[in-house]
Amino acid sequence: MKRFLALILLCQAPFVAANDATSTEIVHWQDNSLSYLYGDNFKVNPKTQQTITFEHASGWNIGDLFMFVDFTKYNGEEDFLNGETTYYGEFAPRFSFSKMLDKPVEMGFVKDVLLATTVEFGEGDVESFLIGAGFDLAIPGFDFFQLNMYKRLPDGRDGDTWQITPAWKMSWPVGESTIVFDGFIDWVVDSDGSYEKNFHFNPQLKYDLGKQVGLGDSALLVGIEYDYWKNKYGIKSSSGFDTDQSVTSLLVKYHF
């Protein structure tokens, strides 16, 4: 636990330092949202779940930050570890070499190189720290595409291995509104002890309803989230215990 807490402080230090500065350009942009999800047929945890998710994304003078916290309720069931409700979150600052050096660090379709970090936290034994390299890529058709490659460092349990995490957003005009397709993949590429390699694919397909109801662009979106997770939580799937998850959830998302 001491290693985990020290890494959290190391991860947060540049942002604390930035907040102590007086420049009005420390935060270049930010976006916050709340989502509601309802899905059925989850694995490992209870089958039916409702989740409220808070998300924050922002661009800073030294990099960018993404974080989220899921608050999940199991409908009438109890999880074997966490009871009727649980929470899980990630705090993921990245530090841009282009911004910190004040000159472009790019080559071809690689538009920036970053130090990528993530802290995973929540109820139960889930704490992990991830550190590695991040790349912002310019790929035709994508609003943005990030590729992060991490070394995973769980706190006090198996799972010291490698993870590849792309994240993306695409959007298309449809009539007077927009369709948005975004999401991420967490691909743990190797096994470590009892922690099995796993593949988590989590995209959202949404319609921008905000324009139609007078809330403005991208304020209110409705759609679905698909969650495919092979060997969920790094637990190897077997005939006796199926941990391969495939769930489509209804989604409502409000940006503010």
Q: What is the enclosing helix (H) or strand (E) of 7?
A: helix 2-20
- Count the neighbouring beta carbons within 10 Å of the beta carbon of residue 50: 16
Positive or negative torsion for Cα 205, 250, 39, 253 = positive
Q: Which structure tokens are listed for 160?
A: 């010291």
| Of 173 and 214, the one with more pLDDT | 173
pLDDT score at 212: 82
Range of the domain at 230: 2-255
Question: Could you report the per-residue pLDDT of 186-221, keeping only the tens digit for each?
Answer: 999 999 989 999 999 999 999 999 988 878 788 999
pLDDT score at 82: 75
Q: Using a pLDDT cut of 90, give the percent of the chain over it.
A: 80
Question: Could you report the per-residue pLDDT of 54-78, keeping only the tens digit for each?
Answer: 999 999 999 999 999 999 999 877 7
pLDDT score at 12: 52
Q: 36 pLDDT exceeds 90? A: yes
Rounded distance between C-alpha atoms, residue 183 and residue 167, angstroms: 6
Rounded distance between C-alpha atoms, residue 25 and residue 118, angstroms: 24
pLDDT score at 20: 47
Confidence of residue 176 (pLDDT cuts 50, 70, 90): confident
Tell me the pTM: 0.89
The count of structural domains within the chain is: 1
Collapsing DSSP to helix, strand or coil, 13 comes out as helix
Rounded distance between C-alpha atoms, residue 228 and residue 237, angstroms: 13
Q: 165 pLDDT exceeds 80? A: yes
CATH number at residue 157: 2.40.230.20
pLDDT score at 83: 85
